[in-house]
Amino acid sequence: ILNVEQSPQSLHVQEGDSTNFTCSFPSSNFYALHWYRWETAKSPEALFVMTLNGDEKKKGRISATLNTKEGYSYLYIKGSQPEDSATYLCAFNGNNRLAFGKGNQVVVIP
Amino acid sequence: EPEVTQTPSHQVTQMGQEVILRCVPISNHLYFYWYRQILGQKVEFLVSFYNNEISEKSEIFDDQFSVERPDGSNFTLKIRSTKLEDSAMYFCASSALAGGYEQYFGPGTRLTVT
């Protein structure tokens, strides 16, 4: 069983503040680490696929880093906006099957 | 922008009945997947499918489950005799290539077994 953990499970952020959360995953048999943004009743939206140790990716105000040696990834949201409210899922790709964490539920308070 | 679609969005069925969940993956994708999420739990991998056969399946995917690509566009998940514990959100996903490539998810089918 692949153990993928995300913390904190939920967080409330004031509009305009920046925030970050963590995904930890097994450091062996690593193919890729995926981040998804998931709003209720919608498809999980692919944010990033990260494959190399030290990778940093950015999409607008959202960015992510990857450390495959110690088995963690950080997701950052800069200047949070109400539309950033969602659950952010990370998934470890060990062999084309994704093992998900429980998600980081973010609520941005206007 | 191309997207994965799933039907129905919600299916209610009685225990012991067969259900078929349908998915239309992105048209030029070659790899297809089913995942599920039981309420309050993590999203779990069920099965991956490539070149008209199952490439990998999890311990959840027992003999009650089957997948099929009946034509060039649809990808289906069948549960032969549903149990209460099959109640979950079922997600279909597709990707162009295997390995470290994005898997694109559909919006899910909520299956409720009563």
Per-residue pLDDT reduced to its tens digit, B34-87: 999 999 999 999 999 999 999 999 999 999 999 999 887 899 999 999 999 999
Q: Is B51 on the interface with A (CB under 8 A)?
A: no
CA–CA gap between residue A64 and residue A53 (Å, rounded):
12
Asked if the model's pLDDT at residue B99 lies above 80, the reply is no
Tens of each residue's pLDDT in chain A, 110 residues: 679 999 999 999 999 999 999 999 998 889 999 999 999 889 999 999 999 999 999 999 999 999 999 999 999 999 999 999 999 999 999 877 899 999 999 999 99
Interchain pair B4, A43: CB under 8 A: yes
Residue A95, pLDDT score:
77
CA gap A3, B77 in Å, rounded = 26
Task: Kindly list the residues from chain B whose CB atom is less than 8 angstroms away from the CB atom of residue A4.
Answer: 42
Handedness of CA B41, B44, B46, B52 (dihedral sign): positive
B91 touches A at CB < 8 Å: yes
- The reply to whether B65 touches chain A by the CB within 8 Å rule is no
